[in-house]
Structure 1
Amino acid sequence: MADRLTQLQDAVDQLAHQFVASIYYVHRHHELTPVNPTDKPREGPMDSDGIEPYPTAQFLDGQRELAKDLIVREQQIELLISALPGLEHSEQNQQERIKALEEELEKEEKKRQAAVKEKDVLLAKLDEVIRSVRRP
């Protein structure tokens, strides 16, 4: 599992992709109606290049679905941000926590080394027992 910052970066990247996809959807499927009654349609290749208008109800449903997806992604980002150490954790508190964790790690490493030594002693004893056994 990735760390929180990586998850946050991935979520922000996905949000950016969703924004682009939403803009593309609106651009590609909007109705070809002028915004202002005095507007005139453009002539040439920019007029309706690649635009496939959807019926109004379908277009609005698509917009709502895209908006819901954007809101869900934003809430996921907020959740990830809230899980990060923030203002309530000063740098000094974080340094103390790191020091405590390092001390705990040292203790566990000493336990591990003791267990390895004990394993070596037991293996040596077992080896002696096996070598001392003879067939009748």
Structure 2
Amino acid sequence: MEECKTGTVVFIVNFSFHFVTWSKRSYLSRIYNAKLAAERLLKRCPNAMVLIRLANPRENTTPSQCVHSGDWILYDMNRMIRHVFGGIGVRFIDVWDMVLSHPDPNSVHMGSHVIDQQVQMMLNYICPELVEM
């Protein structure tokens, strides 16, 4: 296998909202395969960084949304992701509390203030030397 010759490689992935209707078995199969891919990347490019953005609570305006994408389902998906990817060197962008503590209503696509904070959190991982103390 050829070693990575480029500069810093950052790979960001999200396994959340579009997967809420999948069965648990299918979802776990998907994230286990993604874990294998992340391990191959990290072996080939040891300086690469894999970031996984976790789910956040969202609005549920209809009864069917409460069933297929309620907060417990999203929280459980986060738990599965942490379990599967834990210990291989990936970093998690956990925005659950950030979204809950913001005065805007919970949404799949939060407002720009929350998005800005999420980007800042991500950049803290990518270039920590630029973080102001």
Normalising TM by the smaller chain, what interval?
under 0.3
Under a length normalisation based on structure 1, what TM-score does the superposition of the two structures give? 0.25
Greater per-residue strand proportion: 2
* Structure number with bigger Rg: 1
Under a length normalisation based on structure 2, what TM-score does the superposition of the two structures give? 0.25
